[in-house]
Amino acid sequence: MAAWRCGSCPELHSLHLGLGSMRYQVSPGVLVSVPLRDSSGEAVKEPERAQEHYLPSFAGGQHFFEYLLVVSLKKKHSGEDYEPTITYQFPKRENLLRGQQEEEERLLGAIPLFCFPDGNEWAPLTEYPRVYCIVSCIGCFGLFSKILDEVEKRHQISLAVIYPFMQGLREAAFPAPGKTVTLKSFIPDSGTEFISLTRPLDSHLEHVDFSSLLRCLGYEKIVQIFASAVLERRIIFLAEGLSTLSQCIHAAAALLYPFSWAHTYIPVVGDEKDILPPKLQDDLLDSLGREIKESQTPEQINEHVSGPFVQFFVKTVGHYASYIKREANGQGHFQERAFYKALTSKANRRFVKKFVKTQLFSLFIQEAEKSKQPPAGYFQQKILEYEEQKKQRKSKEKTVK
């Protein structure tokens, strides 16, 4: 994930940048990303260990970020055109192997254009605009926005003041969900400051704005995108503006909660209308089609759009925890066959039988197998509510009989 903000502009833009098997290219208004392929054109099957580079982590302990970059828009030596250039990088890695160096060059080569996709269209400038960019494997946007505030404050004094702050941040362990890490930092003329950085307990709707997705696409297309995404189909998003592109991509990815998208978006035209179980697809469209009132807050609109998709996963895979059998040491083993056969609906069972083969689900289950108890988040809350509703319905049915 790369997050950036231009100068003191409060709007935070972001883009998921691939680590491991995926390469992302950024161009004005277009996000295109493809898996690595060999000379025959076939997708390269990645070894299991390589996946460690981009597995989402729900625990703490890893680095806050991979890179902090300052990108400035400067005039080319010849002509009146401008080009984005990385003017500050932390950390600067040395003694990299050849493959690692090539990987770093590809990643850093995409960042300037991401920060200034329309840089060649800017009118003559009296000063060089700059963008602060953080590249991280973790998407905690509120937390990174606070870090960017601190970086910008220090840059106004001197580039040299950024280094000790980022070094301290790099050495600190990333906090677990709901936990806080406090950094000690010295600023000339201000003295020592203590900066508290809290990781949200549940951030699945953080930095998500469904308004752009609703404005650009109808409910049926949103459901088609969801259907393609749950089976890890490839999707392309096209937009004239970077903000719209970024907002729509993050909104689409947020529909997959509690799962995390680890791939790319490339378009597929085919059986999207037949992927989801008909009854659950109708439920999605009915819930999304309910009128949004003008008086509703952005948080209520987010819940209006996100809620039905979370409920879809509650109904199809919300029983996953009951099918993780644990050894004496706490290590869990997922009982896949028993899990999908537990579904009474044939349509739901057919869908889940395919869904469990996706990396989307595999990564989720890997984390669940490691955890001795389900995470106390929004998804788990909705699972418990749904199970309670089922118990109440059964109790009423027995009373009627």
60 band by pLDDT with thresholds 50, 70 and 90? very low
Helix axes 298-317, 378-400, angle to 10 degrees: 60
Q: What are phi and psi of 297, to 5 degrees?
A: -80, 165
What is the dihedral angle through the alpha carbons of 303, 305, 307, 310, rounded to the nearest 10 degrees?
-130
Q: What is the pLDDT of residues 148-182, one digit of tens each?
A: 888 988 988 988 889 999 999 888 888 888 889 99
Q: Is the pTM of this model over 0.75?
A: no
d(CA 302, CA 170): 33
Q: What is the pLDDT of residues 78-128, one digit of tens each?
A: 666 778 889 989 888 888 888 888 888 888 887 887 777 666 566 666 666
CATH topology of 2-16+60-199 equal to that of 210-389?
no
Question: Higher model confidence: residue 86 or residue 33?
Answer: 86
Q: How far is Cα of residue 109 from the mean position of the Cα atoms in its chain?
A: 21
CATH 3.40.50 for the 210-389 domain, yes or no:
yes
Mean per-residue pLDDT over the chain, rounded: 78
- Of all residues in the chain, what percent carry a pLDDT higher than 70? 77
305 band by pLDDT with thresholds 50, 70 and 90? very high
Question: Which CATH number describes the domain made up of 2-16+60-199?
Answer: 3.30.450.200
For the chain, which residues make up each domain, given as ranges?
A: 2-16+60-199, 210-389
155: exposed, middle or buried (Cβ count in 10 Å: 0-12, 13-18, 19+): middle
Out of 36-50, 108-122, 380-394, least confident range: 36-50
Q: What is the mean pLDDT of residues 254-258?
A: 92
Q: Are 133 and 147 in contact (CB under 8 A)?
A: no
d(CA 356, CA 230): 10
